[in-house]
Structure 1
Amino acid sequence: MKTTRTTKALGRPKRSEQDAPTRDTIIQIASRLFLENGYEPISLNQIAVECGMTKASLYYHFANKAELFTESLIWMLTRARMSTEKLIKDAADLRSGLEQMAIVKMSRPHMDFESIMRESSSNLTEEQLTRIREAEQALHGVLATHFQAAMDSGQMRKANPLLLAHTLSATLMLSNRQQPAELFDSMPELAKAIIDLFWNGVAPERL
């Protein structure tokens, strides 16, 4: 007796697979708006318009503004961590890697991270705040790891590597200030000057 083989239909992708590109686009656009303007000035309606969708469609992917803000900052911090790691690894040495990282960061308009967090903290849950801070710590951890390696090899003066990571991140926020930026013809020149200042402050002491 001849049997008939039945082929299972491939069917449509799972809903989560279909939604992923749209969700990623929303997060990318929202992260830019939040970083440039802060938490309060940006509404879900503004984000929906920038994404070319209705506010109802936005709510399909994110329950509220706090949830979208959290996912956007975590995405941004994770992307920054991966970019920092690559720039430093691909560079000839740590100093030139830091220069490239500084140029990339300072060439993009953004508010001070701590200002954004202070503004938004009352709207976020403890779990959301913890997740954002963990992503931030991971970013600083990349710098701290490279700083520790440089100290171990004698390229840098002994110091707390995590403190150095926070110090460098805070110093790079000078790009938001008008007067320091006006001292140089371009943002890359300002970035290089800042890294020069940072590096000379941690270089090994000469006998």
Structure 2
Amino acid sequence: MARKKEVSAEQTLRTIIATAERLFMTHGYRAISTRRIAEECGITQPALYHHFPNKQAIYLEVVRLIMSETEEAMTHVLQDHADSKDRIQRISYFMIMNHQGDMTQMFHDLQFEIAEEHRQTIQDWWMRSYFNPVMQTLTEGIAKGDIKSMSTAPPMELTFFVLEMMKSFLPPSKQEYDARRTFAEKKSKMLVDILFNGIEKK
């Protein structure tokens, strides 16, 4: 019986996080209450508070998991692929497959709705999961001669530029898996082609 309760609690926790992620990313932090999250999970507010003390704690866990999963995926890309083009394409493919296009809401919420004491922690998560893998790929690519070194775009600024390009290719909403995969393959190849071959006629 104890084992059944443990599994049930774990399932409830996963449901809360998945539901909260969908609601927060769709409507924003301020528009969503713990009552709304609990109702959509089919549980009571006291049951929700058994897992999280408040709404901010839920939001932080949603963001932590998104970034943790991204960091794990990026680690595998860096370990398994040495070629700079291959890395950038695979990073872009992962972003398109696993992120929605309008992440502006999330970044707005992190900046204005979350307590300042948590912002440095979130910044560290973002650097490890998003910025550092792209920065490492570009820096190593420049060192190997795969990527042109440009005085007007040092590695740090180039990293921000590449991340913005990836963001611009994200679809506005979740799609069916096969459609999203086709879209991700096309857009990630396009991004690499633009970055490495440019649009100038040779």
Larger Rg: 1
1:197 to 191, 194, 199: 194
2:55 to 49, 53, 65: 65
CA deviations 1:116-168 (Å, max 9, x no partner) are 22245333211122221111111211221222122211111225333233222
Distance 1:162 1:40, change over 3 A: same
Q: Percent identity?
A: 22
**Could you tell me which residue of structure 2 aligns to residue 48 of structure 1?**
38
CA deviations 1:90-126 (Å, max 9, x no partner) are 2362312321221222134525444422245333211
Distance 1:31 1:87, change over 3 A: farther
Q: CA deviation at 1:69?
A: 1.0
**Could you tell me which residue of structure 1 aligns to residue 17 of structure 2?**
27
Distance 1:36 1:188, change over 3 A: farther
CA deviations 1:71-101 (Å, max 9, x no partner) are 2112211211111221343236231232122
Higher RCO (CA-CA < 8 Å; seq separation 6+):
2
Please list every run of at least 4 consecutive aligned residues from structure 1 whose deviation after the TM superposition is greater than 4 angstroms: 15-22
The one-letter code of the counterpart of 1:129 is R
Aligned length: 183
1:105 aligns with 2:95: yes
**Could you tell me which residue of structure 2 aligns to residue 145 of structure 1?**
136
Unaligned 5+ runs, structure 2: 173-181
1:131 aligns with 2:124: no
Other structure's SS at 1:89 match: helix
Quick check: 1:29–1:47 contact (8 Å CA) kept in 2? yes
Q: CA deviation at 1:193?
A: 0.6
The one-letter code of the counterpart of 1:162 is M
The one-letter code of the counterpart of 2:122 is I
Unaligned 5+ runs, structure 1: 1-11, 179-184, 202-207
**Could you tell me which residue of structure 1 aligns to residue 157 of structure 2?**
163
